Structure 1
Amino acid sequence: MYKRVMAVLFIGSVLLTGCGNQKELKRQGYHLDTIFEVQLKTDNKKDIFARAQRSLNEGFDRLVELDSNINKLSPLSEISAINANASVRTMDISKITYDLLDKSLNASVFTDGYFDIVWRPLTKLFEMSSPSAERIARARSVSGYNNIALDRSLHRVRYLNTTEVDFEQIKRGFAVDLIRSRLSNVDSGQIKAGNVAYYFGSKKLSLKLTEKENLNLKLNNAAVAVLDATDSYYVNSSAWRKYLPVVSPVDPIRQIIVVAPTAVTAEVLSNAFYFMGVEKSLQKIDSIKKEASRQSMYEVYFVLDDDENGSRVVSSVEKK
């Protein structure tokens, strides 16, 4: 009921303000279990502003479609149909769902398997019970992105066994980029969806890390994702992470902040780094920087709980 009320409050809420040569465009909406907030500044010229407003509305229309397609709680959603049937037959799927699947599988390769939408059989098993060794072994055998096959020419998907996918750890970043990709001639502003945001133009951002330390970021057309390790997904991972297809060290991580060129990359890396652990994550982001044209676009900050000295921060910036 709460979600429905929030949807009524926020969907379609648009505010226009302006002065001088710029005009501000705002919109809010409740999608993907998240409040989306967009604030943009664009040229005040009538045709340019009208184009920005139209593009923003189109972006929110896509959010409605995406939300409907990947709602795992609805038996009528596309993802429910895929999870139920793709192991027995190849399925034609919508372009937006296909693009999300494709992006997710590429993210698994990019993170060496530490981000994976196909851990779902394993995580689902531990949600309501203490499973037997036999059931754990069965879930492990069908977990992992290599169990999904895509036909890129026809937008088709086939599961190679009775597995399932879950987009929870990528959907917000993907959606933010979905809106961003439709916008042009934006001088400054932001698209925010929960713990993920993209900032247009130059932006100074201050985030509280510990009682004594703030993180002051200078961004330029970049995204930021903040992972809260007290979220139930990460807390509950203590029961199943040792069964993952990858080796996942347990570090005292309380928070992870990732800066990246796109929102989906920032969200994916923040999740991957939680399971990758601090040392391997710093090595990984160093290797990413070496391949990137703009190395400063990638950074990671870990807030760690130290029993003896309180919270401390470890980051990729220190390695420069």
Structure 2
Amino acid sequence: MVTVHKAMELMGSRFDITVVASSEDVGLINIDEAAAEIERIEALISSWNPDSETSFINQNAGIKPVKVSQELFSLIERAVQVSQLTDGAFDITYASLDNIWKFDGTMKEMPSADVVKSSISKVGYRHIVLDAKQQTVYLAKKGMKISFGAIGKGYAADKAKELLVSKQVVGGIINAAGDLTTWGTKANGEKWLIGIANPLSAERIFSWLPVVESSVATSGNYEKHFFHEGVKYSHIIDPRSGYPTSGVNSVTVFAKTAEMCDALATAIYILGKDEGLELISQLGGIEVVLIDSENKVYQSSGILLEKTP
């Protein structure tokens, strides 16, 4: 058996797909099949593609319910459940936020409270009306939008893994720009290892963890942030308040599915250390490593960290 790896641009991000196969040729065919599945998911959930089901839902916000495929309906249903679980810290209607925050170095002062209030007026998962019988999705407010930016890459990684497992691919790792999922082992029987980035430098690893039949996602403020009156604000906006989050540098979540990791990493980042760790303590089979703004490391009970020298 050999380990075959390929990096490619998918869903506007870098995807690294690694599989264990009988030969390099077979491995490359498997990887191409996984890439095709990821492209299929993108066509379904992209809010940039005007012809996608998601765009059709957005175009009809405040107008009428839209009948969608069972796959998209189920994804939105699960997204709403995560919103309920996290008290709205995770919310796919965050796409309705006006683009009032800039993290490119051009922003010099905070927007006014009125501007922020106006920005969040169309945000709120409670305004997503789902009809399971008719399989329709309705956004109750005009101008509302949904986007899968905080869950879509994780979902795509899960579906690609599901496809490869169904084709008897014995092991692999799919890394969707930091949202990754694994199964089996490396060709030599060793466990897959993932590194948790040092918040002071995304290029440096501060701990390695073996991952078996599991998924991982990290939310961090490595690249995009701005300072105001000495406080560092992340590019991750709290959809409930309309303000950027502060107090946390990175959150890494471990769970069975990349979709759940992806959604919870964002939510816990927004909830902050105390609420975030409390939430994870109530959920079975999910672990977290959180690094606060003072670079203190907190972890849930099931995590054993191996520090790098």
Equivalent of 2:218 in 208, 226, 247: 226
Change (3 A) 1:156 1:317: same
Matching residue's letter, 2:66: M
Of stretches 201-210 and 180-189 in structure 1, the one that deviates more from structure 2 is 201-210
| Whole-Å separation in 2 of the counterparts to 1:132 and 1:78 | 35
Contact 1:86 1:157 in 2 (8 A): no
Percent of pairs identical after alignment?
22
Of stretches 147-156 and 254-263 in structure 1, the one that deviates more from structure 2 is 147-156
**For 1:243, what is the secondary structure of its paired residue?**
coil
Equivalent of 1:80 in 44, 55, 59: 55
TM-score under structure 2 normalisation? 0.75
| Whole-Å separation in 2 of the counterparts to 1:135 and 1:215 | 41
Contact 1:66 1:96 in 2 (8 A): no
Equivalent of 2:98 in 120, 124, 127: 124
- What number of residue pairs does the alignment pair up? 278
Which residue number corresponds to residue 205 of structure 1?
194
| Whole-Å separation in 1 of the counterparts to 2:101 and 2:264 | 24
Of stretches 95-104 and 177-186 in structure 1, the one that deviates more from structure 2 is 95-104
Equivalent of 1:190 in 173, 182, 185: 173
**Residues 81-120 of structure 1: per-residue CA shift (max 9 Å, x gap):** 2212132111122344334322322221232321111122
Contact 2:199 2:249 in 1 (8 A): no
| Whole-Å separation in 2 of the counterparts to 1:94 and 1:230 | 37
Larger relative helix fraction: 1
CA RMSD of aligned residues (A): 3.4
**For 1:115, what is the secondary structure of its paired residue?**
coil
**Residues 112-145 of structure 1: per-residue CA shift (max 9 Å, x gap):** 3211111222x32525798776665455443111
**Residues 221-273 of structure 1: per-residue CA shift (max 9 Å, x gap):** 011112122443872456x66725xxx99553222211111101111111001
Which residue number corresponds to residue 12 of structure 2?
33
Which residue number corresponds to residue 82 of structure 2?
107
| Whole-Å separation in 2 of the counterparts to 1:28 and 1:318 | 31
Contact 1:117 1:145 in 2 (8 A): yes
Which residue number corresponds to residue 229 of structure 2?
none
Which residue number corresponds to residue 7 of structure 1?
none
- In the alignment, structure 1 segments of 5+ residues that lack a partner are 1-21
Which residue number corresponds to residue 127 of structure 2?
147
Equivalent of 1:91 in 66, 72, 95: 66
Of stretches 145-154 and 253-262 in structure 1, the one that deviates more from structure 2 is 145-154
**For 1:40, what is the secondary structure of its paired residue?**
strand
Contact 1:125 1:131 in 2 (8 A): no
Change (3 A) 1:58 1:116: same
**For 1:259, what is the secondary structure of its paired residue?**
strand
| Whole-Å separation in 1 of the counterparts to 2:64 and 2:30 | 37
User: Larger relative CO (CA 8 A, sep 6+): 1 or 2?
Assistant: 2
Which residue number corresponds to residue 300 of structure 1?
288
